[in-house]
Structure 1
Amino acid sequence: MAKQRIEYIDTMRGFTMILVVFAHVCHFCLGDSRMGYNAVFILFRLPCFFMISGWLFESVAQRPFKEVAKHKAMVQLLPTFIFLLLLAPPPFFFHQLGTLKGGYWFTFALFEYFILYMLMIRISRNWTPLMAVVLTIGAFIYARYYDSLRSAADGYQLWLIDFSGFMSVTTWRLFLFFYLGTCIRRYFDVFIRWTNKPVVIGLITIVFFLIASTSHHDHLLFEMFRFYGGGITGMIMVFTFFRLSASWLKKLHISKPLQYVGTRTLDVYLLHFFFLPRFLMVYADQLAAYNCRLIEFCYIMAVSFVVLALTLTASYVIRLSPFLGHYLFGVKYDKAA
Structure 2
Amino acid sequence: MSNETFSILVVDDEPANIDILLGILKPFYNVKVAPSGVIALKIVEQYPPDLILLDVMMPGMDGFEVCQKLKSDPVLSQIPIIFVTALVQGENEERGFSEGAVDYITKPVSPSITLARVKTHLSLAHQMRTTESLVRKRTEDLMKSQQSAISMLAAAGHYNDTDTGHHIWRMAAYSKCLALRCGWSYEQASLLAQAAPMHDTGKIGIPDSILKAPRKLTDAEMTIMKTHATIGHTILAQSDTPLFKMAAEIALCHHEKWDGSGYPAGLIGEDIPQSARIVAVADVFDALTMKRPYKAPWSDDDAFDYLQKNASLHFDPCLVDFFVEARDEIVATKQYWNDLEKEGTLPSIDNFLPQVVY
TM category, shorter: under 0.3
Which has a greater percent of strand?
2
TM-score (norm 2): 0.25
Q: Which has the higher contact order (CA 8 A, sep 6+)?
A: 1
Which protein is richer in helix relative to its size?
Answer: 1
Task: Provide the TM-score with structure 1 as the length reference.
Answer: 0.26
Q: Which has the larger radius of gyration?
A: 2
